[in-house]
């Protein structure tokens, strides 16, 4: 990487892949990731932005369905290595797992004071009609934006997509077709990007004055997600909770955090909790959160040893658990940590 020395904002683009840079495979007509040069050739307006741009690219670029914690670590390390040199970072990423990566990065890069903006698109930049060019330009502008105090306007991991800038660990991919693919159901947008950019100043995350930027790269994948549904059997639940080596799971519950109160069900959870597994209650509803005491069915979960995930997204809860175990915390510490906000991911 080499950074410019002028007064223009220095931004680093990290190209991981995704639809934004894809082309059609002539043999199969399926979209496949393509190189960064192709993407930039098809978006010449970016040269007029007045930014000094450098880039790093995944070789080969990947469809985000293939993203995993090793890739998150790579992105986090690239950002940490360039942290002093660049004013901001734009991560080009497939939409499918962008909310997981944004959530993971928010925990891996605590106390950020610079923007890390993820974006991608629903249609590739090389197509005649597409959303990639606007998304890329807007993401770069978000990464370059300064507040009245001259400091970066955005000092956190965010997703810039369509007309909204959303907190990364509050975001979910909500549509596979809409140009506004992402939603943040439980937290207001950080900015609205219409004719003008309007920042929601009181929603922007700021690290505590004395808190140092301290990247933490290790993620422990020995966790899972258990999705409840009417008719779930004892055998299915048991198989999911007794995966060898598993340290914890996000329980996707009904409504305000409710689940069956059948004795076999609660005993399975109690056994898992007694065996030292961390179980976190996160609702299946896209909006709202867990209120365990509201119904007897939710209260029973709490008594079985399941801790509340409040209004966290599943993406945030899962990656937060990977992060807390990755720090080497004990089950008790992880259970406690899951209930405390780390990077603006929950409302308490």
Task: Name the residues annotated as catalytic.
Answer: 19
How many angstroms separate the CA atoms of 295 and 232, rounded? 20
Give the nearest distance from C-beta 319 to ligand ASP in angstroms.
17
Name the residue nearer to ligand ASP (CB basis): 28 or 65: 65
18: contact with ligand ASP by CB under 6 A = yes
In the list 44, 65, 84, 348, the residue contacting ligand ASP (rule: CB under 6 A) is 65
In the list 39, 82, 96, 280, the residue contacting ligand ASP (rule: CB under 6 A) is 96
Q: Which stretch binds ligand ASP (CB under 6 A): 61-69, 82-90, 267-275, 313-321?
A: 61-69
9: contact with ligand ASP by CB under 6 A = no
95: contact with ligand ASP by CB under 6 A = yes
How many angstroms separate the CA atoms of 261 and 299, rounded? 10
240: contact with ligand ASP by CB under 6 A = no
132: contact with ligand ASP by CB under 6 A = no
103: contact with ligand ASP by CB under 6 A = no
In the list 69, 120, 126, 289, the residue contacting ligand ASP (rule: CB under 6 A) is 120
| Alpha-helical segments (H) within the chain | 36-41, 69-81, 98-108, 132-144, 234-241, 263-274, 296-303, 314-326, 331-338
315: contact with ligand ASP by CB under 6 A = no
How many angstroms separate the CA atoms of 232 and 227, rounded? 9
Give the nearest distance from C-beta 343 to ligand ASP in angstroms.
23
Residue 135 makes CB contacts below 8 A (sequence gap 6+) with 20, 119, 120, 121, 160, 161, 162
Give the nearest distance from C-beta 121 to ligand ASP in angstroms.
7
- Mutual orientation of helices 314-326 and 331-338 as an angle, nearest 10°? 150
How many angstroms separate the CA atoms of 284 and 246, rounded? 22
How many angstroms separate the CA atoms of 314 and 250, rounded? 7
DSSP bridge partners of 22 = 33
Q: Which of 327, 321, 320, 326 is nearest to 345 (CA)?
A: 320
In the list 19, 160, 184, 308, the residue contacting ligand ASP (rule: CB under 6 A) is 19
DSSP bridge partners of 61 = none
- H or E segment and range at residue 4: none
177: contact with ligand ASP by CB under 6 A = no
How many angstroms separate the CA atoms of 102 and 82, rounded? 18
Q: Which stretch binds ligand ASP (CB under 6 A): 12-20, 133-141, 189-197, 294-302?
A: 12-20
64: contact with ligand ASP by CB under 6 A = yes
319: contact with ligand ASP by CB under 6 A = no
Q: Which stretch binds ligand ASP (CB under 6 A): 41-49, 94-102, 145-153, 236-244?
A: 94-102
Name the residue nearer to ligand ASP (CB basis): 17 or 326: 17
Report the half-sphere exposure of 39 (CA within 13 A, side-chain side). Answer: 31
What does the binding site for ligand ASP look like in residue numbers (CB under 6 A)?
Answer: 17-19, 63-65, 94-96, 120, 122
């Amino acid at each position: 990487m080499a950074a410019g020395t002028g007064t223009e904002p220095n931004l680093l683009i990290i190209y991981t892949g995704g639809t934004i840079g894809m082309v059609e495979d002539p043999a199969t007509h399926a979209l496949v990731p393509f190189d960064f040069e192709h993407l930039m050739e098809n978006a010449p307006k970016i040269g007029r932005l007045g930014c000094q741009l450098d880039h790093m690219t995944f070789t080969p670029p990947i469809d985000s369905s293939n993203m995993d914690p090793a890739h998150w670590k790579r992105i986090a390390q690239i950002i940490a290595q360039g942290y002093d040199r660049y004013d901001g970072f734009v991560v080009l990423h497939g939409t499918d797992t962008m909310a997981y990566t944004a959530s993971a990065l928010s925990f891996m890069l605590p106390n950020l004071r610079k923007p890390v903006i993820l974006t991608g698109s629903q249609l590739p930049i090389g197509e005649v009609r597409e959303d990639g060019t606007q998304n890329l330009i807007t993401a770069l502008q978000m990464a370059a934006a300064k507040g009245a105090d001259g400091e970066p306007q955005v000092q956190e991991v965010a997703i810039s997509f369509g007309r909204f800038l959303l907190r990364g660990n509050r975001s979910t991919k909500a549509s596979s077709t809409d140009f506004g693919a992402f939603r943040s159901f439980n937290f207001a947008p950080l900015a609205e990007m219409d004719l003008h950019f309007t920042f929601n100043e009181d929603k922007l995350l700021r690290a505590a004055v004395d808190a140092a930027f301290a990247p933490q790269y290790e993620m422990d994948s020995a966790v899972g997600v258990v999705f409840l549904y009417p008719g779930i059997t004892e055998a299915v639940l048991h198989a999911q909770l007794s995966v060898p080596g598993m340290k914890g799971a996000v329980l996707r519950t009904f409504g305000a955090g409710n689940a069956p109160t059948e004795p076999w069900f609660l005993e399975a959870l109690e056994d898992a909790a007694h065996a030292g597994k961390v179980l976190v209650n996160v609702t299946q509803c896209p909006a709202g959160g867990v209120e365990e005491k509201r119904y007897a069915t939710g209260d029973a979960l709490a008594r079985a040893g399941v801790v509340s995930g409040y209004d966290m997204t599943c993406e945030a809860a899962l990656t937060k658990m990977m992060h807390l175990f990755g720090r080497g915390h004990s089950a008790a510490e992880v259970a406690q940590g899951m209930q405390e906000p780390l990077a603006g991911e929950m409302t308490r």
